[in-house]
Amino acid sequence: MLYYATYRLKEGKWKPTLTFENKRKGRRTIKSCAEEKGYIIAKTEEELKRKKRWEDIFEAHRREHNKKLEASMRRQKEIIKALRQILNIKEIEKMFSALPEAKDGGEAYKRGRDKEILELRFGLGDKWYPRTLETVGHSRDLSGGTISQIEQKYLKKLLPPEEVKKVKYLLRKYFLEESKPPDPDRYLLKHKTFEREVLI
């Protein structure tokens, strides 16, 4: 039986159709040429063409997905930069050091915990990026509501009301960006009309 095969070249185009009588041997040969670009093996030329069309659709969606992802990551970086301009880590440290001396070890522990919660929540210092209330709460064995109360308590001390509103707006914007575009493969696999034999 004759098998038809092709694979993607580096520039994204398809290699002219190759034929093999032994599928296993043909797969080994074509796999060594395809590297990471992927290949297709089919029983008929018509099936090969159909699979190539679908692979082209997949590839177009992947490129579009990656573009959206890159744009989203750029916007996230801009939001983090804006947050850090409003919420300066040094100002937060100054605020905590200006608080009255802790009465006992428990209070001192809570202050240290609250400072770290603010850093985690807003992605300050070496914490890199903001976290949701639930994520921060889970890491400290607290509820999201408790984290929100701690956040409000210190934001009011640190910033005027207009700046607090701006911080909340930036956080909402960040988490909207964080809901990344869906994986194109998952979406397209639900709508496929043939059994894929593409190994990538």
Domain residue spans of the chain: 3-68, 73-178
Neighbours of 38 (CB within 10 A): 16
pTM: 0.64
Residue 166: the pLDDT is: 92
Give pLDDT tens digits for 86-114: 888 888 888 888 777 767 777 788 888 88
For 78, 80, 115, 129, the CA distances from 73, given in Å and listed in that order, are 9, 11, 27, 11
Q: Which bin fits 181, alpha (ψ -120 to 50), beta or left (φ > 0)?
A: beta
- Spans of the chain below 50 pLDDT: 184-200
Residue 35: the pLDDT is: 62
CA 188 to chain centre: 19
The angle at the Cα of 78, spanning 130 to 95, to the nearest 5 degrees, equals 50
Residue 149: the pLDDT is: 92
Q: Which long-range contacts (CB under 8 A, 24 or more apart) does 29-33 make?
A: 30/5, 31/199, 33/7
Residue 114: the pLDDT is: 87
CATH of domain 73-178: 1.10.10.10
Residue 37: the pLDDT is: 64
Q: Which long-range contacts (CB under 8 A, 24 or more apart) does 25-31 make?
A: 30/5, 31/199
Residue 86: the pLDDT is: 87
